[in-house]
């Protein structure tokens, strides 16, 4: 793995670790949640889903994008890290949904983890949601640049996602 990719994965892992406790607290305090979610699994699943959405926006998932997703999964969970084994986007989604069946995310609203962190921040006067938004945005940039090609649909989708992250505050 290249040093810049290794540093980026370390940044993601550190940020996830820092957000774990406030996210766990926010999840426990949600009276509408009839089942308790695992904070790390929630935020990691959402990051991977965003990575998949952006890596397949050009209808193809490059090996460098697959590698980035698998390295993120490995950094958090260890093991063989082979969450995604195909460069076919439909197969990649099936593999993801097999591992994370409860994660559903769209690009028109903030990830659930960010919504929980916003509620936590409001109650505690912190800025964890801002940190999470930056992490998601940095991931989008890394994924859209991972294959060395930046197509216009990626740029449009990324701009819309960034605007949505900013408007969720």
Phi-psi region of 106 (alpha: psi -120 to 50; beta: other; left: phi over 0): beta
Phi-psi region of 144 (alpha: psi -120 to 50; beta: other; left: phi over 0): alpha
Q: Above pLDDT 70, what percent of the chain?
A: 86
Stretch 55-72: mean pLDDT, rounded?
Answer: 80
Choose among 11, 146, 168: nearest CA to 84: 146
- Please give the pLDDT value at position 1: 46
Q: Give the SS3 label for residue 145.
A: helix
Supply 5's token pair.
Answer: 């990719």
Choose among 137, 61, 58: nearest CA to 93: 61
141 Cα distance to chain centroid? 12
Q: Above pLDDT 90, what percent of the chain?
A: 31
Domain ranges for the chain: 3-167
Please, what's the b/e burial string for 4-39 (b: 16 or more CB within 10 A of its CB; e: otherwise)? eeeebbebbbebbeebeebbbbbbeeeeeeeeebeb
Residue with tokens 């670790």: 17
Segment 64-106, tens digit of pLDDT: 888 888 888 888 888 755 677 766 667 777 777 777 777 777 7
């Amino acid at each position: 793995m290249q040093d810049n990719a290794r540093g980026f994965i370390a940044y993601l892992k550190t940020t996830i670790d820092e957000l774990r406790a406030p996210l766990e607290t926010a999840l426990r305090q949600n009276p509408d949640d009839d089942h308790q979610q695992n904070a790390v699994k929630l935020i990691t699943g959402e990051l991977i889903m965003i990575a998949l959405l952006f890596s397949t926006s050009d209808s193809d998932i490059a090996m460098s994008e697959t590698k980035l997703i698998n390295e993120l999964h490995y950094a958090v969970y260890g093991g063989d890290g082979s969450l995604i084994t195909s460069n076919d986007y439909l197969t990649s989604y099936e593999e993801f949904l097999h591992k994370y069946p409860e994660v559903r995310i769209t690009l028109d609203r903030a990830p659930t983890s960010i919504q929980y962190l916003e509620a936590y921040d409001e109650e505690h006067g912190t800025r964890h949601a801002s940190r999470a938004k930056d992490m998601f945005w940095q991931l989008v940039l890394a994924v859209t640049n991972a294959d060395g090609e930046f197509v216009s649909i990626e740029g449009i989708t990324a701009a819309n996602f960034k605007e949505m992250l900013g408007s969720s505050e």
